[in-house]
Amino acid sequence: MNPIIEARNLSHAFGMVKAVDGIDLTVHEGEMFGLVGPDGAGKTTTIRMLCGILLPTAGSASVLGYDLVKEADAIKRHIGYLSQRFSLYGDMTVDENIEFFAEINQVFDYRERREELLGFTRLTPFRDRLAERLSGGMKQKLALACTLVHTPKIIFLDEPTTGVDPVSRRDFWKILQSLLQQGVTIVMSTPYLDEAERCSRVALMNQGKLMRVDTPIAMKDAMRGEVVEIVCDRVRDGFRLLKERWPDAEVQAFGDRLNVVVENARRDSSDLRDTLQKAGISIASLRVISPSLENVFISMLTHTEGGA
């Protein structure tokens, strides 16, 4: 596959704070590339630099063959950017917002494209509704339609489904899959590890640095140990108890369950069960599961110097 984005030692600092710290990145044409990490990891700053909105304080990058610093205006003509916050005009209708963004992107014969996008995002019945009166999911679909009006080759999406209801989130992902089939390259950031598993490749970020870039499958295959999932009551008590009993083990809490990373699940499962039951903690189920990206990310943080 051809590289469509290349960054070398790319950095950006806000005063003394390094938001992005010397990352190397390559994105291939036609892939969905995910930037994953907690708040403050540097995802938004990375995307804003690649869009030409922020200038790097060090390093270099090219997007579609254009230099990020010297040819930022040329880059902007060929990309779309959907920011974290709804940035459209609430006092304008759906139709008017698309028309406005078409004109500022110098797309003057936009009517056919607008009809296509309204159908694509299933917003046709709401075309006369003011944007401020749309639901959160519909606002995101309108923002995506405005992002696509000039037919960009790459779209950058900054946490596009944050705060969106599950049904709208599913619809949004269907739209993204359709865009991939049309050959659009997608670079997106997300705090949701389950979403990241849909990407062709993922970059795990923390504190402005890239921890690893690979396919989700390769990341999970490379994880050390086996994951034992325990569904139980008093999860917090169970978490503390297992950490005290096995201080070197990775114990991860997720809602009503614990994930414990052990060297040998067959050998260690009975000890885990006995330890919890002796403390009066009721176990609904205990089983070995395949690691998720969330397990991988927490494990990498734990094994990184100072990460724990």
Of the candidates 217, 238, 263, which is a domain's last residue?
A: 217
Query: Does the residue 150 lie in any domain?
Result: yes
* Rounded distance between C-alpha atoms, residue 46 and residue 53, angstroms: 10
* Rounded distance between C-alpha atoms, residue 90 and residue 131, angstroms: 5
pLDDT band at 307 (very low <50, low <70, confident <90, very high): very low
Q: What is the mean pLDDT of the chain?
A: 91
* Rounded distance between C-alpha atoms, residue 155 and residue 282, angstroms: 48
228 lies in the same domain as 205: no
Of the candidates 181, 202, 217, which is a domain's last residue?
A: 217
169 lies in the same domain as 233: no
Q: What is the pLDDT of residue 86?
A: 67
Q: How far is CA 179 from CA 202, 244, 254, in A?
A: 18, 49, 33
Query: Does the residue 296 lie in any domain?
Result: no
143 lies in the same domain as 257: no
Q: What is the pLDDT of residue 163?
A: 76
Q: What is the CATH number of the domain that holds 277?
A: 3.30.70.270
Q: What is the pLDDT of residue 118?
A: 93
pLDDT tens per residue, range 269-300 = 999 999 999 999 999 999 999 998 988 888 88
pLDDT band at 108 (very low <50, low <70, confident <90, very high): confident
Q: How many structural domains is the chain composed of?
A: 2
How far from each other are the two terminal CA atoms of the chain, in whole angstroms?
37
194 lies in the same domain as 276: no
The domain containing residue 233 runs over which residues? 224-290
Q: What is the pLDDT of residue 246?
A: 84
* Rounded distance between C-alpha atoms, residue 69 and residue 62, angstroms: 9
Record the pTM.
Answer: 0.85
pLDDT tens per residue, range 75-104 = 999 999 998 776 788 899 999 999 999 998
Query: Does the residue 308 lie in any domain?
Result: no
Q: What is the pLDDT of residue 294?
A: 87
137 lies in the same domain as 195: yes
% residues pLDDT > 90 (the chain): 66
Look at residues 253, 252, 274 and name the one whose alpha carbon lies nearest to residue 261: 252
* Rounded distance between C-alpha atoms, residue 297 and residue 180, angstroms: 26
Query: Does the residue 306 lie in any domain?
Result: no
163 lies in the same domain as 284: no
76 lies in the same domain as 202: yes
9 lies in the same domain as 100: yes
126 lies in the same domain as 183: yes
Query: Does the residue 147 lie in any domain?
Result: yes
Among 35-44, 224-233, 297-306, which is the least confidently predicted range?
A: 297-306
pLDDT tens per residue, range 196-209 = 999 999 999 999 99
Q: What is the CATH number of the domain that holds 134?
A: 3.40.50.300
Q: Once rounded to an integer, what is the mean pLDDT over residues 228-251?
A: 91
pLDDT band at 306 (very low <50, low <70, confident <90, very high): very low
151 lies in the same domain as 175: yes
Among 47-61, 214-228, 290-304, which is the least confidently predicted range?
A: 290-304
Of the candidates 217, 240, 260, which is a domain's last residue?
A: 217
- Do 187 and 35 form a contact (C-beta atoms < 8 A)? yes
Handedness of CA 253, 162, 157, 180 (dihedral sign): positive
155 lies in the same domain as 37: yes
